[in-house]
Amino acid sequence: PGASRNRFAYNEAGQVRIRAGLPIYECNSRCRCGAECPNRVVQRGIRYDLCIFRTGDGRGWGVRTLQRIRKNSFVMEYVGEIITSEEAERRGQVYDRQGATYLFDLDYVEDVYTVDAAHYGNISHFVNHSCDPNLQVYNVFIENLDQRLPRIALFATRPIRAGEELTFDYNMHVDPVDAESTRMDSNFGLVGGSLGGSPRARGRIECKCGAASCRKFLF
């Protein structure tokens, strides 16, 4: 982190301590530290017992945690196939007709690549949207420093109870608290809009998250 002029992202317990919007640079194969280095968190993978379940309110499948999760802890990485934004636009039209949302724009600096979790991925494929989520997206760089290709890591925004459903905001916008954070504007689902990072709306999708602060529509 010092070499990249960024703050050390984690405390001794592996909890993120920088604000959302700032990049996380973890140690990698060129570092002399070992696997237990406190700056190796996302690369260790999922550390909690998670469970896929069928929701009862029409939201399809969801993910809940079987263990208590501490605030600011890494929970999972959004994993999928990396494709160009042009290919994502084509696939997005197909997914729209299916009512599915699997595309995540990698628009940390520019809208060039997208992660598609429809065919390749992990349990993050099943995480639902909420307008009041308990997970926050961070852009993470480990072996790769190409800012067009960050890894998408989900951290807990608050303590999460065992048995609670995990959610993140599919249309998250980070407040521009400083110059660095204005570069992050994560959009999930309907991809392929302007270079500013906003998804191109093909039709409004009703939100069923049930949060008191629900915006009523996903996009």
Say which CATH superfamily domain 46-168 falls into. SET domain (2.170.270.10)
The catalytically annotated residue of 78, 95, 102, 108 is 78
| pTM of the shown model | 0.85
90: enclosing H helix or E strand: helix 85-98
Distance CA 163, CA 68 (A): 8
pLDDT per position as a tens digit, 182-193:
454 555 554 433
Distance CA 133, CA 130 (A): 5
- Tell me whether residue 163 is annotated as binding: no
pLDDT score, position 192 = 35
Burial class from Cβ neighbours inside 10 Å (0-12, 13-18, 19+) for residue 82 reads middle
Share of the chain above pLDDT 70, in %: 82
The answer to whether residue 108 is catalytic is: no
- Tell me whether residue 113 is annotated as binding: no
Distance CA 56, CA 76 (A): 24
- Tell me whether residue 129 is annotated as binding: yes
Query: Which of 20, 71, 7 has the alpha carbon at shortest distance from 175?
Result: 20
- Tell me whether residue 138 is annotated as binding: no
The catalytically annotated residue of 25, 102, 113, 170 is 170
Structure tokens of 82? 């990396």
pLDDT per position as a tens digit, 60-116:
899 999 999 999 999 999 999 999 999 999 998 898 888 777 899 998 888 899 999
- Tell me whether residue 131 is annotated as binding: yes
Distance CA 17, CA 8 (A): 8
- Tell me whether residue 61 is annotated as binding: yes
pLDDT score, position 3 = 62
The answer to whether residue 138 is catalytic is: no
* Beta partners for residue 143, in sequence order: none
